[in-house]
């Protein structure tokens, strides 16, 4: 082991290594109360109890020690718009009104590369401050907005996925491309960024109402030509949207069938929202391996509806589901805060969503949705060392609440309901410290010490 490229992080290691909806919580939860994660060249080479691994560690290995803190896999955001960072908390009308009044106006600013660069820096700062190490991201229609996104991702060595939005109708003229130009520009961006370093490209038709059948078919052609890319779009977020799709595509059986007919469903496709998917549509997603991103803060903010996680994850046709913040209709970059809202939505649909399942959705579930479970989403040997350190006593109230916590499951539930960015003591990207809360480095249990 080369000490110059090797590091380690020590603390209460907690990770989910399988789907608790299918296998049960106890079968998939792994913890090491005093554990250590050893990293070489950005990849986890050992993980387990510190007492057992201590004798195997080189004497000069740098160990960041967080006594009492939880070390989790980095959070995975399966749906977010970096180009909407500037319109978080814009007064929420219904979806289509919100798009026309705020989103389409804001996204036209990304024709300016300098503006795109500035927002990308803010966006990535916020991801890391909230413990998010990978995100599936919508850029704007302008190729320069994609270049800004990936340039910043590569500067930070983050495993990020993004793509140019495709829109050839039903949007302001300044945001429209054509089926041919969208194909050509996306192809050039794929060749420039896809699988360069840790970057991955997602072919990105915004949603069916803003793409003609020709553009959706061109997007599917791109994916066939570049099968390791992802596909991202929206589906069945709002009842008015569904009616609009029905009027625009009268020959299709439903909203999902628009994408199915174009050839856009399958592994590597992530559909945002899916609030109003029918039982038949959920079965079709399961059959094709198409994933869904559950975005509770956005769905509540715009009044779109309640996603039924128990319907999506149970029965003979379970879906692959991750969590999405959906900035900027979403109200927080924090996947901890997003877990809080997911719990409440589940309660409103008579389903008790426990902490193990919520942490799964925010980590390994998201990685599975993105087809990256072999790389990220859990703390296991051979995976990239993208980690978040959670301070369970980050606030006075959290510290007080910890006095009555009597199990790991309860502690994780308290975090999923009460925590936010203040709880993120540190974030590691490929084993390198990428964010430290308030610049702290030597503050007892909430900042790294030597071993």
Query: Closest by alpha carbon to 238, among 274, 271, 202, 212?
Result: 274
Q: Is the alpha carbon torsion for 47, 50, 54, 59 positive or negative?
A: positive
What does the alpha-carbon distance between residue 423 and residue 419 come to, in Å, rounded to a whole number? 6
C-alpha dist (Å) from residue 133 to 123, 334, 388, 392: 12, 12, 8, 20
Least Cα distance to 211 among 232, 189, 239 occurs for: 232
Structure tokens at 64: 């960041």
Query: What is residue 216's predicted lDDT score, i.e. its pLDDT?
Result: 98
- State the number of CA atoms in the 13 A half-sphere of 361 facing the CB: 33
Give the pLDDT confidence score for residue 5 in this predicted structure. Answer: 73
Which tokens hold the place of 187? 């192809």
Is 277 in contact with 235 (CB distance < 8 Å)? Answer: yes
Q: What is the structure's pLDDT at 280?
A: 97
The pLDDT of residue 3 = 37
What is the C-alpha separation between 36 and 13, in angstroms, rounded?
A: 7
CA distances in angstroms from 313 to 319, 322, 372, 427, listed in the order given:
6, 11, 19, 29
Please name each of the domains of the chain with its CATH number.
3-74+378-446 (2.30.40.10), 75-369 (3.20.20.140)
- Looking at residue 94, its pLDDT comes to 79
- At 155, phi and psi to the nearest 5? -60, -30
Question: pLDDT value at position 93?
Answer: 74
Residue 393 main-chain phi, psi, to 5 deg: -125, 40
Sequential pLDDT tens for the chain (451 residues): 333 478 999 999 999 999 999 999 999 999 999 999 999 999 999 999 999 999 999 999 999 999 999 999 999 999 999 999 999 998 867 788 888 899 999 999 999 999 999 999 999 999 999 999 999 999 999 999 999 999 999 999 999 999 999 999 999 999 999 999 999 999 999 999 999 999 999 999 999 999 999 999 999 999 999 999 999 999 999 999 999 999 999 999 999 999 999 999 999 999 999 999 999 999 999 999 999 999 999 999 999 999 999 999 988 999 999 999 999 999 999 999 999 999 999 999 999 999 999 999 999 999 999 999 999 999 999 999 999 999 999 999 999 999 999 999 999 999 999 999 999 999 999 999 999 998 654 333 344 655 5
How many H helices and E strands in the chain?
19, 16
Question: Phi then psi for 81, rounded to 5 degrees?
Answer: -115, 105
The DSSP string of 5-71 is GEEEEEEEEEEE-S-HHHH-HHHHEEEEEEEEEEEETTEEEEEEEHHHHGGGS-TT-EEEEEEEEEE
């Amino acid at each position: 082991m080369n000490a110059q490229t090797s590091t380690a992080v020590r603390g209460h290691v907690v990770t989910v290594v399988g789907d608790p909806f299918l296998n049960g919580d106890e079968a998939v939860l792994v913890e090491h109360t005093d554990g250590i994660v050893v990293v070489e060249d950005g990849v986890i080479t050992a993980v387990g109890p510190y007492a057992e691994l201590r004798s195997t560690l080189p004497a000069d290995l740098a160990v960041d020690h967080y006594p009492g803190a939880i070390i989790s896999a980095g959070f995975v955001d399966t749906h977010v718009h970096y180009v909407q960072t500037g319109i978080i908390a814009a007064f929420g009308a219904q979806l289509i009104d919100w798009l026309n009044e705020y989103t389409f106006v804001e996204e036209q600013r990304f024709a300016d590369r300098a503006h795109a660069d500035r927002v990308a820096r803010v966006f990535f700062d916020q991801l890391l401050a909230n413990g998010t190490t990978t995100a599936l991201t919508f850029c704007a229609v302008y190729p320069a907005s994609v270049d800004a996104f990936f340039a910043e991702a590569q500067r930070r060595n983050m495993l990020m996925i993004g793509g140019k939005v495709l829109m050839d109708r039903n949007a302001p003229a300044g945001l429209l491309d054509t089926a041919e130009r969208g194909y050509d520009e996306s192809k050039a961006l794929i060749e420039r960024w896809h699988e360069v370093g840790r970057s991955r490209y997602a072919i990105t038709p915004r949603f069916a109402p803003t793409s003609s059948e020709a553009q959706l078919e061109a997007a599917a052609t791109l994916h066939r030509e570049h099968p390791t890319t992802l596909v991202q779009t929206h589906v069945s977020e709002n009842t008015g949207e569904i009616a609009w799709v029905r009027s625009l595509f009268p020959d299709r059986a439903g909203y999902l069938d628009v994408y199915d007919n174009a050839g856009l469903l399958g592994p590597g496709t992530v559909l945002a929202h899916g609030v109003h998917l029918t039982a038949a549509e959920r079965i079709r997603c399961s059959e094709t391996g198409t994933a869904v991103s559950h975005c509770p803060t956005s769905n509540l903010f715009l009044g779109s509806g309640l996603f039924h996680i128990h319907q999506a994850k149970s029965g003979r046709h379970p879906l692959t589901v991750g969590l999405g913040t959906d900035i900027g209709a979403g109200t927080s970059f924090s996947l901890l805060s997003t877990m809080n809202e997911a719990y409440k939505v589940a309660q409103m649909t008579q389903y008790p969503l426990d902490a193990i399942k919520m942490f799964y959705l925010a980590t390994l579930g998201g990685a599975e949705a993105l087809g990256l479970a072999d790389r990220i989403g859990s703390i296991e040997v051979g995976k990239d060392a993208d980690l978040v350190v959670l301070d369970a006593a980050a606030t006075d109230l959290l510290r007080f609440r910890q006095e009555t916590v009597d199990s790991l499951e309860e502690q994780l539930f308290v975090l999923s309901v009460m925590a936010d960015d203040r709880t993120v003591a540190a974030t590691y990207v490929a084993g390198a410290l990428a964010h430290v809360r308030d610049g702290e480095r030597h503050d007892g249990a909430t900042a790294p010490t030597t071993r």
